[in-house]
């Protein structure tokens, strides 16, 4: 998928200004004078994943390495926004894969998470997108991704459940086909350091 163009922050700021008026705010009071511009800049940053090019993110950071062991990167912090209410969700992503002659530079996994998290998202889709790109880009024998996140749309509104955590997982290749491999990943990913 080709990256999107940069958003028009002036247009976004005007829309935010109109939203504040519609909500009953005085957009001329001191505290709100620069809010539309700030929100436009924040939304542009929080959705920069739409404009990222995965080829540039990976940037040829694939290295030849013969290993049969599982590679796991745990506790990758993620911040995203729920596509239903445009409220944040945040948590940790755990990625495991079994190489097939190639490995990623370790920081690239965290960067991939950011590319997909910095969009309007569903946690379920986010989990799948990460697992698929890891599988495809490194040609892994198998991939497992687990995300644990807290959703402000559930905490601040609706059912208002403050301590709920959503957990999603996606397993591909040998992680899906081999129960022992899947259980090893889920056990290691879920284990606290």
Same domain flag for 106 and 174: yes
The string of pLDDT tens digits covering residues 26-36 is 999 999 999 99
| pTM as predicted | 0.90
Other CB atoms within 10 Å distance of the CB of residue 45: 9
C-alpha–C-alpha distance, residues 133 and 140, integer Å = 10
List CB contacts of 3: < 8 A, sequence separation 6 or more: 50, 51, 52, 53
Same domain flag for 163 and 76: yes
Helices (H), ranges, the chain = 9-22, 35-46, 54-58, 106-117, 123-138, 152-155, 174-177, 179-190
Same domain flag for 27 and 95: no
For the CA atoms of the chain, what is the radius of gyration? 19
Partners of 103 in the β-ladder:
63
Same domain flag for 75 and 157: yes
Asked whether residue 112 is assigned to any structural domain, the reply reads yes
Q: Tell me if 154 sits within 8 A of 84, measured CB to CB.
A: no
Domain around 132: 60-190
DSSP state of 101: S
How many domains in the chain?
Answer: 2
pLDDT tens digit at each of 193 positions of the chain? 567 789 999 999 999 999 999 999 999 999 999 999 999 999 999 999 999 998 888 887 888 888 889 999 999 999 999 999 999 999 999 999 999 999 988 899 999 999 999 999 999 999 999 999 999 999 999 999 999 999 998 888 877 777 889 999 999 999 999 999 999 999 988 876 5
Q: Tell me if 142 sits within 8 A of 98, measured CB to CB.
A: yes
Same domain flag for 64 and 137: yes
The string of pLDDT tens digits covering residues 81-124 is 999 999 999 999 999 999 999 998 889 999 999 999 999 999 99
């Amino acid at each position: 998928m080709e990256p999107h163009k940069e958003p028009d922050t002036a247009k976004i700021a005007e829309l935010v200004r109109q939203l504040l008026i519609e909500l009953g705010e005085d957009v001329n009071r001191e505290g709100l004078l620069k809010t539309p511009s700030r929100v436009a800049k924040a939304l542009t940053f929080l959705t920069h994943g739409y404009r990222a090019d995965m080829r540039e993110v990976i940037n040829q950071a694939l290295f030849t390495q013969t290993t049969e062991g599982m590679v796991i990167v745990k506790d990758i912090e993620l911040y995203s926004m729920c596509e239903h209410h445009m409220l944040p969700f945040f948590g940790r992503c755990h990625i495991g894969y079994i190489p097939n002659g190639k490995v990623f530079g370790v920081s690239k996994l965290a960067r991939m998470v950011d590319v997909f998290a910095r969009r309007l998202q569903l946690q379920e889709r986010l989990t799948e997108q990460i697992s698929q790109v890891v599988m495809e880009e490194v040609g892994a024998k198998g991939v497992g991704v687990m995300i644990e996140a807290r959703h402000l749309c559930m905490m601040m509104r609706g059912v208002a459940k403050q301590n709920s955590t959503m957990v999603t997982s996606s397993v591909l290749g040998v992680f899906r086909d081999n129960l022992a491999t899947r259980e090893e990943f889920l056990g290691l990913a879920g284990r606290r350091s």
